[in-house]
Amino acid sequence: MSSLRFRSVDRRLWVLFVGEMIIAMGFSMFLPYLTIYFNSELGVSMTVIGLVWLVVGVMSALAGIIGGEMADRWGRKRGLLTGMAMRIVTFALVAVAVQLGWGFLPITGLLAVAFLLGNVAHPAMNAMIADVTDPTQRMDAYSFVRVGANVGFAAGVFVGGFVAMVSYSALFVATSLAAAIYMVMVLVMVEETKRMTGSEHHQHLGKEALNVFKDRTFLVFGLATLLLVILMSQFFSTYTVFAKEDLGLLESEIGTLFAVNGIMIVLLQIPIARGLSRYRLSRVLLIGALLYTVAFALVGPSTGFLWMVGTIAIITVAEMIISPASVSFVSRLASEKNRGRYMGAMVLLTDSGAAMGPFVGGMIMDATRATPIVMWLLIASMGLISSIGFVLLGRRVSKDMDLV
């Protein structure tokens, strides 16, 4: 593997680094606390909250397909600008709804629209990274941008814990402002990275957007990833509620847990990515899935804050392994012409898993809350099933395709 030389990194990669840091700060200020707001402030059950995340996730997943096609047909830059503009407007409306106390259903509807319209930016961003880097450097490149995102994540979730004690609406104002800053940066500092043809500009979205699922290798990868993301999404739903309601942690302590996650990624993401460069991507994904399984299984017998810090540490290592490896694998399956489509399909699968996760986890939590060890073992079992999928993936792909 050829390591990315950061002194000679394409300027557009630096813009994405800073932009993702800013937008992640905006999102992390509200995301960990939204479930707490619904459950503790509005008195909504975990099962209903799971249904909310299911609807929001479906909207976000659909946006991935649309955004992927936009990135291929109309350019990566336009996809990024469109997504950020939509986030500015929709999250500002969510802030108004929370501040004026419009209630659970209006807030949920606005969140669904916000995720549908805003998430068209994500496939464009991932495709742009692949456009400006050599295939052997993409693991480093995706890790590099993730470091930026997690600098913002660590800051946002820590600050958000204190802001949430005063005003939940202010959290959504911050998200809207973050999107505005990112949009201006892309507009002024980023040039288009995809070589466009005249015919591509005039093509329309159609059913061919789903042709990627005819690729059986991608399908095996996608199903294993879907199951794993269902598990990963507990981090922002059942995990936070369990920490607050069952273990009695304060919002500021929960914010500290998430800050530990962000700080670890900032310090260790790139060294871990480079350390894994000698292994096949399917094996890297397998290791990450197994670590997630162990981490969530250990939540059940938790005795308090320090134990939860330990689970966060394992979850974070798994995240540092899975996230860049999965995007790097998808970029190897795709060509420049359909890279946005593959990235959009990946968003469809991952966001579908994120949508299903709180619903599945919420049902398990409502049914087994009296026995937390059983509850978390049931939740963790999804990671074990996902691991089997990554074993099968390794048997399908050639060594050249599977190298980091």
For position 133, what pLDDT does the model report? Answer: 86
Q: What is the DSSP string of 380-392?
A: HHHHHHHHHHHHH
Q: Average pLDDT of 309-337?
A: 90
Residue 382 scores a pLDDT above 90: yes
Task: Report helix, strand or coil for 275.
Answer: helix
pLDDT of residue 284: 92
Nearest to 367 by CA among 280, 221, 238: 238
**Residues 357/237, Cβ–Cβ less than 8 Å:** yes
For residue 180, being part of any structural domain is answered with yes
Q: Judge whether 286 and 391 are in contact, CB under 8 Å.
A: yes
- Is 149 or 6 the better-scoring residue by pLDDT? 149
Q: Is the pLDDT of residue 95 over 90?
A: yes
Q: What is the pLDDT of residue 397?
A: 81
Residue 308 lies in a domain: yes
How many domains does the chain fold into? 1
Judge whether 200 lies within some domain. no
Nearest CA-CA partner of 127 in 275, 323, 327 = 327
Query: Which domain, by its residues, includes 68?
Result: 11-192+211-402
Residue 17 has pLDDT above 70, yes or no: yes
**For residue range 262-306, what is the model confidence (pLDDT) as tens digits?**
788 888 988 998 888 778 888 999 999 999 999 999 999 998 999
Supply the pLDDT for residue 300.
Answer: 93
pLDDT > 90: what percent of the chain?
39
Give the mean pLDDT of the chain: 86
- Are 251 and 159 in contact by the 8 Å Cβ rule? The answer is no
Residue 394 burial by Cβ neighbours in a 10 Å radius (0-12, 13-18, 19+): middle
Q: Is residue 199 over pLDDT 80?
A: no
Give CA–CA dist 175/181, Å, rounded: 10
Share of the chain above pLDDT 70, in %: 93
CA distance 383 to 318: 11
Q: What is the pTM of this model?
A: 0.79
Give the Å distances, CA to CA, from 260 to 54, 267, 309.
Answer: 27, 11, 8
* Weakest-pLDDT range from 289-298, 348-357, 384-393: 348-357
DSSP string, 116-129: HHHTTHHHHHHHHH
Domain assignment present for 90:
yes
**Selected residue with higher pLDDT from 213 and 385:** 385
Is the pLDDT higher at 141 or at 153?
A: 141
Task: Determine, yes or no, domain membership for 352.
Answer: yes
Residue 278 lies inside a defined structural domain of this protein: yes
Q: Residue 401's pLDDT band (boundaries 50, 70, 90)? A: low
Residue 379 lies in a domain: yes
Q: What is the pLDDT of residues 220-253, one digit of tens each?
A: 999 999 999 999 989 878 998 899 888 988 878 8
Instruction: Say whether pLDDT at 159 is over 80.
Output: yes
Is 396 a member of any domain? yes
- Mean pLDDT score, 16-40: 87
pLDDT band (50, 70, 90) for residue 403: low
Domain CATH code at residue 292: 1.20.1250.20
Q: What token pair was written down for 222?
A: 């996608």
Is 108's pLDDT higher than 80?
Answer: yes
Residue 1 has pLDDT above 60, yes or no: no
